[in-house]
Chains A and B, each alone.
Chain A
Amino acid sequence: MDGDSSTTDTTQLGITGEYMTGGTYVLQTQDDDGDESFNDHEDGNGSKDYFREQDIYLPIANVARIMKNAIPQTGKVISGNFKNVSCNLGSKDAKECVQECVSEFISFMTSEPLKLYLQKFREAMKGEKGITPVTVSEGLGEELTDESFTGQLPAGLITADGQQQNVMVYTTSYQQIPGVQQIQFS
């Protein structure tokens, strides 16, 4: 029998059925940056306090498909439920976890280059350094420390409309730096 002692059975969790109807539940965003975020709700983003589960994760079918294509043809993804050991990607556990990892990855990718950029922005504003371009791969490289992974990102990027470009811009609400609109990535 599987040793997984977790359960989603609402009766065992002590939650009444009403809370779990429709497969949605209220999820509070995690404001890890502390108090600043709480004071920013008047800028119109107050409505993003609550996200449904399907909003913060990418669709599991897409994630599962990508996983399936990555591992050898005859590979299978199983769950913790040992009743269906050879469940051919019909199982949930590993896929759901990758789904969460993906959301974590996106948040990570969004915040890390931003931090780096803000740091350089502040240095530039102090006048100590010239304004230097920030590369996404720098941000990635420092945190992920895996050259082979960052190397996979194509140097020339095909944009959504088919044009080949190799620039990318991050903007935030309060920084408008003249002359720094182009950010190269290697």
Chain B
Amino acid sequence: MSGKNMEEKVEQATNSKNISLPVSRVRLIMKSSPDVSCINQDALFLTTKATELFVQHLALSSYKNGSGKETNTLSYSDLANVAEETETFQFLTDILPKKILARDYLKSLEEMEKDDENL
């Protein structure tokens, strides 16, 4: 569909009172942080809403940033790339590592060992 339609949809979701994520689950995750005992209802709602926006933002940024534009797909590598390149998503680099073939990794390990021997 046209980009304008999509932006309207996103804007609608942004301003809507409706949330698509289970609030109780969000509270559970928040409570898993240390030192948190009580969570205000408004804070919980805000976090849920912000999480929704975050998912939209991440998906859209990865999609726009990635090679999927031609193929119209969003793949894991798009996510990994955006995590590394965008400052906002830097906190995700640990859980979105770039994937390499095992044999490539083993090869680079061997090369590193050879370099160490040569030193």
Contact = CB atoms under 8 A, between A and B. Distances in A.
Contact of B74 (A48, A77, A85, A103): A77
A75 B50 contact: no
Given A59-B25, A98-B58, A101-B58, A136 B41 contact: no
B112 interface: no
Interface residues of A, number: 74
Given A100-B95, A101-B58, A145-B88, A66 B52 contact: yes
Contact of B72 (A69, A72, A104): A72
B31 A48 contact: yes
A48 to B, nearest CB: 7
A97 B79 contact: yes
B32 A51 contact: yes
Interface string B52-92: 11111111100100001000111110110000000110011
B74 A114 contact: no
Given A97-B76, A171-B38, A173-B35, A110 B30 contact: yes
Interface in B16-63: 17, 20-23, 25-26, 28-43, 45-47, 49-60, 63
Interface residues of B, number: 65
B87 to A, nearest CB: 5
B102 interface: yes
A168 B76 contact: no
Contacts of A75: 63, 68, 72-74
A70 B40 contact: no
Contacts of B119: none
21 contacts: A3-B102, A5-B101, A48-B31, A51-B32, A55-B25, A55-B28, A58-B51, A69-B13, A70-B55, A70-B63, A80-B99, A93-B76, A101-B79, A102-B55, A105-B54, A145-B88, A152-B53, A153-B49, A158-B17, A159-B42, A169-B42
Interface of A: 3-5, 29, 31, 33, 36-37, 40, 48, 51, 55-56, 58-59, 62-63, 65-67, 69-80, 85-86, 93-94, 97-98, 100-111, 114, 118, 136, 143-146, 149, 152-154, 157-160, 162, 165, 167-173
Interface of B: 1, 3, 6, 9-10, 13-15, 17, 20-23, 25-26, 28-43, 45-47, 49-60, 63, 68, 72-76, 78-79, 87-88, 91-92, 95-96, 99-102
